[in-house]
């Protein structure tokens, strides 16, 4: 339904008359809409707009008409044009299904704002087509420069930030002496530290008029400029499942992992469930399964051996172990019709080499299905007008041509499904990956990745586009005025079948056994209310829109209890422990968000994401020298990374792992790309990788050990994960194996250097937290990542794990050495935020120099320095007059976060690897548990819930 408001004003109409007429019309429309069913969201949007107008008028009661900046601009434009006829304002409300989006546009509201004072008044180009008049610029040369751009809304709720591509920059140097601020706006706005304008209002309003003011606090000068910016709204992508489509899933109590078939003939079980309200027809599900070494011997494959279950399986190997046994594979299953709320249990077992069966022919299938898929895109100028001719791509024809020319790359080929990719260049750094799958029953799926991420070439940069995707003659998706910077991508899925309507459940106990995931406490369960939160999140406006962040924190350097930081993200961990489809959907959306982050840096010349194998000196930071196309000695990218509309701030020390678990549950090739991408990024994001092993002359060329300890952990996590699934024969397989080997060499050399210097307390890494102090919990991030790498068979990593695990184990036990100046080791300090092994630094935490001089040689001395540093849980105090430690009552005052959980994780890996005294340490830890290590806490947030 679409309603149009026509407001006709005669000559002599005052501003108050205009406001009254507008308000009366809005109120009238509100009453009409309230009588129509299904329009509640539209009413809400209109009422919000009315409330905003009321608030603006009330806040400016004592100001003149200029206080109503947006309305004043419209009136000025109307007054200028009334000689040629009547000015009409239009507004529209569009409802689709149960959700509605409102937009309002004043067609002539791009007038100018003028400030009259003395001085020079240059005219500047207004952003988005609006005109701009700058206030005077003083004799010091102070001015404002607003880069062209547009506000972009993705149905963001009120109170959330939506970034406008408008940068306020200072023409005077040094630029950091300027303070930018919004002094007046028709909606709430702010400028962040990077110079971006954030819009705090709900979508659908606009154009937005605002005034930016810059103040030079050194020179005392001020400049102002008023701008009118058009507002665009991006429609949300249709989700895999409509919000609220799940049924019969628990909303209270604990959600436990499902049961899986086992048997002497089987290797691993999996389930396929229907958690929707309707019966599912026959179809196909795909997932990725890893196997333990030797479980599927060379020359064998897997098939269904479930008793009483009829089904067909296709196994497409990804890679193998050194003995030729199957390591990981894509599994496709022809699932039967499944009633609502029901599930089918399967068991995979080893079978001999299968009889050769003709694979599905993708080209023939596309022709037989008469499938049509067109991607139309229009490049735009900064004011939203067309730039150049539109581009129309027949993706089916492109796929057929690639198959005929033998340029299509194949991921799957078998009797159930064949999946191939065609790459379609568009312009500059922009291209499409179209992954077509044809199934035995004739159904078709296609994932379209819109990637603007080609690096190390002569062309590239941000793009501004509108477009449409048309399937079988029907528009299935369109976007409008989307700003996509270089190194960003987004995904859209389409096809002729139900598209993952069935939920795959993987056996977490076997995934742990196969060293795919951390040894989570899978028997504890997860509180259902946490999972309901994920379901509510996936129903949020703008969820899955192009370049949406989908709950990922874009400010990666931010610390605190972030649900996206951990061995895996919180939602991925919940998915692994419970197999609940609501958590799976949530973490898959966050895999889509990995495309929004500007770390997608693809080296088209070498057909892989940028790597030091091809550019040994590459550092993607903007401080690196600008690279040259085709030059392997380049130190930097050939095009700089720029700010994004989502305000991404990347940081290796706080990066979440966004695509690894989604790849397991969906087998989507795009997610495999993202796993490889983040592994590659984790190497080139690091500066000064060549490092000499302390105490030796051995140089490791690609060491990741120069970062913060948590940064080492998360970079190694990404490289290890990428190596686990790197396809045999690919450049990724050799590259990631080499990076892991080089870093194992450095880690082993480092521990050999550290152990003799650390006395009784050996087994820790004091780096980056401060002088003579370190954070044991950061080390336990690293310990668990090293532990999983060792379990995966990467050489050297089990020894590195055991070095750190020794410290976790011994620190949790009473120690017999000492006393030292009255101090005795307190096992509660195993879970302290900070430990001191020398005199406390006065130089702050970050960028510290580690241990200076000789560190504490006994546990008692370590307690002495930790008490002096104010971080001990012993309750003891330091008497400066006598230089002795006065005993006190132990407490948990320095273990208020997840530090106890991380200590537990370190001890768990000690138990798993047979580190001496690990079982005793685990028993002591459980007998006197730190805060937030109880079952109820883990059931609310299981991110670090590891079990021995």
Residues 6+ apart with CB under 8 A from 669: 411, 419, 421, 435, 447
Where on the phi/psi map is residue 250: left (φ > 0), alpha (ψ -120 to 50), or beta? beta
pLDDT reported for residue 181? 58
Residue 418 pLDDT > 50? yes
List b or e across 695-729, with b for residues whose CB sees 16 or more CB atoms inside 10 angstroms: eeeeebebbbbbbbbbbbbbbbbbbbbbbbbbeee
The least confident of 279-283, 465-469, 661-665 is 279-283
Cα-Cα end-to-end distance for the chain: 59
Q: What percent of the chain has pLDDT over 70?
A: 72
Pairing mode of beta strands 222-229, 132-134: antiparallel
Residue 310 pLDDT > 90? no
Residue 468 pLDDT > 70? yes
Query: Which stretches of 823-945 are DSSP H helices?
Result: 859-868, 899-912, 918-927, 935-940
Radius of gyration of the chain (CA): 30
Give 169's strand partners.
145
The least confident of 262-271, 376-385, 506-515, 614-623 is 376-385
> Six-digit token pair at 506?
């993987």
Integer Cα distance of 75 and 54 in angstroms: 18
Query: Phi and psi (nearest 5°) for 85?
Result: 145, -165
Integer Cα distance of 860 and 854 in angstroms: 15
Dump pLDDT digits (tens) for 617-639: 999 998 899 999 999 999 999 99
Integer Cα distance of 584 and 668 in angstroms: 14
Dump pLDDT digits (tens) for 838-868: 987 644 444 445 778 889 999 999 999 999 9
Residues 6+ apart with CB under 8 A from 746: 691, 693, 700, 703, 705
Residue 338 is classified by DSSP as B
**Residue 55 or 161, more confident:** 55
Residue 138 pLDDT > 50? no
Tell me if 197 sits within 8 A of 168, measured CB to CB: yes
Query: Which stretches of 660-796 are DSSP H helices?
Result: 660-666, 669-684, 709-725, 731-754, 776-791
Dump pLDDT digits (tens) for 759-799: 999 999 998 777 888 999 999 999 999 999 999 999 999 99
Residue 446 pLDDT > 50? yes
> Six-digit token pair at 543?
């969820």
Dump pLDDT digits (tens) for 167-176: 444 444 444 4
SS3 811: helix
pLDDT reported for residue 54? 45
pTM of the full predicted structure?
0.78
Integer Cα distance of 856 and 837 in angstroms: 5
> Six-digit token pair at 323?
């003995």
Most confident of 100-109, 132-141, 233-242, 365-374: 365-374
**Residue 35 or 912, more confident:** 912
Dump pLDDT digits (tens) for 98-121: 322 333 322 222 222 222 222 222
Q: How sure is the predictor about 544, in pLDDT bands with cuts at 50, 70 and 90?
A: confident
> Six-digit token pair at 476?
């299935």
Question: How many other C-beta atoms can be found within 10 angstroms of the C-beta atom of residue 929?
Answer: 14
Give 4's strand partners.
none
pLDDT reported for residue 540? 81
**Residue 352 or 491, more confident:** 491
Mean pLDDT of 516-534: 95
Question: How many other C-beta atoms can be found within 10 angstroms of the C-beta atom of residue 890?
Answer: 16
Residue 669 pLDDT > 80? yes
| CA dihedral sign of residues 58, 60, 65, 68 | negative
Integer Cα distance of 838 and 869 in angstroms: 9
Instruction: Quote the longest CA-to-CA distance of the chain.
Output: 96
Integer Cα distance of 841 and 267 in angstroms: 55
Q: How sure is the predictor about 153, in pLDDT bands with cuts at 50, 70 and 90?
A: very low
Tell me if 212 sits within 8 A of 146, measured CB to CB: yes
C-alpha count within 13 angstroms, C-beta hemisphere, residue 520: 32
Integer Cα distance of 900 and 902 in angstroms: 5
Q: Quick one: the chain helix, strand, coil %, rounded to 5?
A: 30, 25, 45
Tell me if 777 sits within 8 A of 764, measured CB to CB: no
Residues 6+ apart with CB under 8 A from 503: 272, 273, 274, 275, 579, 581, 584
Going from the C-alpha of 908 to that of each of 15, 517, 783, 904, the distances in angstroms are 71, 14, 10, 6
The least confident of 23-27, 67-71, 561-565, 909-913 is 67-71
SS3 705: coil
Tell me if 431 sits within 8 A of 423, measured CB to CB: yes
pLDDT reported for residue 826? 98
Residue 594 pLDDT > 70? yes
**Residue 929 or 20, more confident:** 929
The least confident of 157-161, 351-355, 433-437 is 157-161
> Six-digit token pair at 559?
């610390």
C-alpha of 642 from chain center? 18
The overall average pLDDT reported for the chain is 80
């Amino acid at each position: 339904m679409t309603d149009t408001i026509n407001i006709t004003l005669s000559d002599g109409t005052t501003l108050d008359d205009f406001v009254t007429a507008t308000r009366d019309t809005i109120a009238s429309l509100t009453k009409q809409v309230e009588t129509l069913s299904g329009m509640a969201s539209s009413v809400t949007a209109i009422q919000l707009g009315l409330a905003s107008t009321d608030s603006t008028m009330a806040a400016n009661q004592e100001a003149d008409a200029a206080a109503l900046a947006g309305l004043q601009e419209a009136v000025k434009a109307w007054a200028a044009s009334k000689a040629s006829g009547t000015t009409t304002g239009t507004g529209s409300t569009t409802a689709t299904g149960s959700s509605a989006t409102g937009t309002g546009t004043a067609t002539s509201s791009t007038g100018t704002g003028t400030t009259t004072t003395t001085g020079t008044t240059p005219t500047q180009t207004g952003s988005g087509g609006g005109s701009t008049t700058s206030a005077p610029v003083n004799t010091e040369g102070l001015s404002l420069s607003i880069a062209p751009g547009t506000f972009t809304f993705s149905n963001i709720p009120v109170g959330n930030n939506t970034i406008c591509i408008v940068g306020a920059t200072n023409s005077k140097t040094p630029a950091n002496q300027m303070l930018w601020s919004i002094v007046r706006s028709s909606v709430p706005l702010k400028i962040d530290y990077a110079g971006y304008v954030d819009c705090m209002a709900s979508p659908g309003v606009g154009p937005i008029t605002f005034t930016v003011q810059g103040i030079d606090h050194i020179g005392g000068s001020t400049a102002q400029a008023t701008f009118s910016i058009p507002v665009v709204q991006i429609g949300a992508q249709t989700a895999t499942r409509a919000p609220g489509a799940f049924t019969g899933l628990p909303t209270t109590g604990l959600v436990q992992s499902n049961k899986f078939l086992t048997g002497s003939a089987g290797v691993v079980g999996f389930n396929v469930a229907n958690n929707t309200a309707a019966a599912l027809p026959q179809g196909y599900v795909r997932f990725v399964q890893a196997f333990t070494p030797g479980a599927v011997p060379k020359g064998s494959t897997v098939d269904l051996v479930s008793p009483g279950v009829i089904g067909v399986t296709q196994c497409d190997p990804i890679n193998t172990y050194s003995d030729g046994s199957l390591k990981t594979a894509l599994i496709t299953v022809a699932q039967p019709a499944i009633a609502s709320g029901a599930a089918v249990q399967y068991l995979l077992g080893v079978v001999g080499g299968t009889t050769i069966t003709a694979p599905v022919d993708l080209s023939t299938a596309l022709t037989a299905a008469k499938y049509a898929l067109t991607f139309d895109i229009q490049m735009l100028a900064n004011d939203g007008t067309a730039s150049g001719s539109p581009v129309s791509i027949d993706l089916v024809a492109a796929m057929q041509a690639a198959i005929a020319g033998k340029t299509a790359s194949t991921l799957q080929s078998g009797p159930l499904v064949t999946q191939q990719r065609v790459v379609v260049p568009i312009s500059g750094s922009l291209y499409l990956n179209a992954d077509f799958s044809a199934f035995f029953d004739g159904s078709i799926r296609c994932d379209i990745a819109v990637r603007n991420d080609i690096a190390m070439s002569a062309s590239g940069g941000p793009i501004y586009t509108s477009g449409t995707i048309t399937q079988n003659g029907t528009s299935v998706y369109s976007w409008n005025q989307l700003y996509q910077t270089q190194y960003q991508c987004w995904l859209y899925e389409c096809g002729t079948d139900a598209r993952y309507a069935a939920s795959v459940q993987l056996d977490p106990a076997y995934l742990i056994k196969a060293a795919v995931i951390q040894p989570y406490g899978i028997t504890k369960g997860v509180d259902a209310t946490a999972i309901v939160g994920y379901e509510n999140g996936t129903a949020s406006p703008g969820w899955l829109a192009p370049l949406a962040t989908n709950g990922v924190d874009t400010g990666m350097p931010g610390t605190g209890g972030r649900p996206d930081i951990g061995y895996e993200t919180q939602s991925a961990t919940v998915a692994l422990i419970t197999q609940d489809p609501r958590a799976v959907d949530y973490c898959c959306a966050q895999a889509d968000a990995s495309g929004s982050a500007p770390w997608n840096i693809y080296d088209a010349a070498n057909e892989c994401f940028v790597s030091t194998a091809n550019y040994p000196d590459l550092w993607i930071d903007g401080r690196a020298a600008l690279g040259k196309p085709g030059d392997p000695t380049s130190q930097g990218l050939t095009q700089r990374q720029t700010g994004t509309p989502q305000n991404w701030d990347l940081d290796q020390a706080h990066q979440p792992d966004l695509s690894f678990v989604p790849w397991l549950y969906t087998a989507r090739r795009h997610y495999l790309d993202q796993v490889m991408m983040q592994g590659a990024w984790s190497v080139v994001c690091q500066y000064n990788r060549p490092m000499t092993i302390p105490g030796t002359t051995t140089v490791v060329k690609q060491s990741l050990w120069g970062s913060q300890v948590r940064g080492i952990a998360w970079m190694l996590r990404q490289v290890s994960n990428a190596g686990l699934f790197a396809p045999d024969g690919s450049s990724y397989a050799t590259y990631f194996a080499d990076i892991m080997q080089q870093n194992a060499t450095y880690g082993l050399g480092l521990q050999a250097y550290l152990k003799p210097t650390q006395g009784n307390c050996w087994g820790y890494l004091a780096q980056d937290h401060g002088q003579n102090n370190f954070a044991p919990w950061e080390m336990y991030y690293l310990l668990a990542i090293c532990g999983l790498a060792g379990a995966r068979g990467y050489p050297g990593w089990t020894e590195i794990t055991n070095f750190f695990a020794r410290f976790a184990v011994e620190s949790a036990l009473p120690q017999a050495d000492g006393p030292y100046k009255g101090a005795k080791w307190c096992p509660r300090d195993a879970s302290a935020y900070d430990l001191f092994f020398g005199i406390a630094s006065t130089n702050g935490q970050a960028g510290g120099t580690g241990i200076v001089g000789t560190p504490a040689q006994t546990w008692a001395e370590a307690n002495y320095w930790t008490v002096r540093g104010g971080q001990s849980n012993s309750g003891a105090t330091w008497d400066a007059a006598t230089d002795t430690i006065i005993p006190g009552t132990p407490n948990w005052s320095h273990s208020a976060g997840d530090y106890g959980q991380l200590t537990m994780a370190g001890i768990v890996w000690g138990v798993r690897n047979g580190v001496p005294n690990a079982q005793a340490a685990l028993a002591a830890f459980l007998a006197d548990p730190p805060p937030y290590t109880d079952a109820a806490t883990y059931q609310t947030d299981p991110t670090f819930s590891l079990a021995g």
